[in-house]
Amino acid sequence: MIYEQATIIVPSAFATALRNLSQTLGADTAGMFIVGLSPDGTAPATHFVSSGGMPVSFVRAMESPALFNSVAQADYTQIGVADLFSLAQITTTLASCFVSYGTTTAIVNSVSTTVSETPRDFIARMGFKMVVATI
């Protein structure tokens, strides 16, 4: 399997469906999207994040509603549940997800420049904080 480094933030309402979807794309995608985010770092999580090496097929599906839809159709058929999302819903939902490949653009010396960005930087740039736990 070919992997690509990415950080993906998804709305919490979408996370469960995406976890199910991701499992059909490879056994090693189970367990994604379990780290919660919210604007102020307090529960409940409004979004969930995964960061690291992901199957390329999964990342590409996150970028393309049509591809996502075809994968989802196969997914839901395989696990025996009715389609949960229409293509229109998928299009709308993916538009509310955020994907980073480890770089962003910044103005350096008045010039737009590509600079590296850590997952934590990306989360902050998107206006989120990791939900704080207490132990």
Partner 1 sequence: MPVIRSPIRSPIRSAIRSPFAYNYGAGAAAFTPASLYTSGQLGAWYDPSDLTTLFQDSAGTTAVTAVTQPVGKALDKSGRSNHLSQATASARPLLGTTGAKYLTFDGIDDGLSTGALTLGADMDCFIALRRNSTASGVLAFESTAASYFGVVQAAGGAALADGGVGSPTYSVNGTALNGGATGTTRVQLDAAMPIGNWCVVEVKDLNLSVGWASFALGNYPGFALNGDIAGIVLAPAGDATSRQKIRTYLGAKVGLSL
Residue 13 CA: distances (Å) to CA of 16, 18, 45, 104: 7, 10, 10, 27
Least separation in angstroms between residue 48's CB and partner 1 is 10
Determine, following the binding rule CB under 8 A, whether residue 49 of this chain makes contact with partner 1: yes
Q: Please, what is the minimum distance in Å from the beta carbon of residue 31 to partner 1?
A: 4
Per-residue burial over 45-76, b if 16 or more Cβ lie within 10 Å, else e, is bbbbbbbeebbeebbebbeebeebbebbeebb
Q: How far is the CB of 94 from partner 1 (least distance, A)?
A: 18
- Restricted to residues 56-115, the positions that interact with partner 1 (CB under 8 A) are none
User: To the nearest whole angstrom, how small is the minimum distance from the Cβ of residue 87 to partner 1?
Assistant: 26
The set of residues, in sequence order, having a beta carbon less than 8 Å from that of 78 and lying 6+ positions away, is 24
54 vs 90 by CB, closer to partner 1? 54
Of 1-9, 10-18, 74-82, 104-112, the segment contacting partner 1 by CB under 8 A is 1-9
Which residues lie near partner 1 (CB under 8 A)?
1, 3, 5, 7, 26-32, 34-35, 49-55, 118-120, 123, 130-135
